[in-house]
Amino acid sequence: RVISIRTLLALAAYNDWEVEQLDVVTAFLEADIEEEIYMRQPEGFRHFDINGEERVCLLKKSLYGLKQAPRNWNKTITAWLEEYGFTQSKVDPGIYVFIKEGELYVLALYVDDSIIVGPAGSFIVGFKSAFGERFNVQDLGPVSWLLGMTVERDRGSRTIRIGQQQYVLDMSER
């Protein structure tokens, strides 16, 4: 939810916390499939057995376009985050909380885009490393663009400004 992300950004500004952004590249392809799904090969890749019957493929991972792909990805990422020690919020299932030595860290996940918010230190560095070992992750560093919003930070005044000027410009061109 956007309201959860806005709240996290406000907490980060107030507490002078880090806000690091990560993007899981081809997230849906990272997820296992629970049911048996067979698919035909695309034109040019089709194979036939000796009886002329077309051979099909058994999928081992989700593919974009499968109706189960978003659910499979969410189950995969949630299981990994919980194994790492995060707890999923009951209020917003896209929010995951981790408390270490009295310090609060919060991860906001929106499909394949995420931010991790918390005090500066080794936890965020370690988390990003472990996350990158498990998934194909692009570390985008301090957040500057998220879900169609620009994010500008002034640490001196402990403010974070979000805007959608580019979104408005893009919509006006349609």
For 93-138, write each residue's pLDDT tens digit.
999 999 999 999 999 999 999 999 999 989 999 999 999 999 999 9
Closest to 26 in 3D by CA, of 75, 58, 62, 68: 62
The pLDDT of 25-44, averaged and rounded, is 89
Which residues lie closer than 8 Å to 46 by C-beta, 6 or more apart?
A: 40, 54, 55
Whole-number percent of the chain with pLDDT over 70: 100
CA dihedral 57, 60, 65, 70 (to 10 degrees): 160
Does the pTM surpass 0.85? The reply is yes
The pLDDT of 62-80, averaged and rounded, is 93
Please give the structure tokens belonging to residue 121.
Answer: 């230190």
Region of 119 (left: φ > 0; alpha: ψ -120 to 50; beta: rest) is: beta
- DSSP line for 5-67: HHHHHHHHHHHT-EEEEEEETTGGGG-B-SS--EEEPPTTS--B-TTSPBPEEE-SB--TT-T
CB 45 within 8 A of CB 168: no
For 101-112, write each residue's pLDDT tens digit.
999 999 999 999
* Mean pLDDT over the full length of the chain: 92
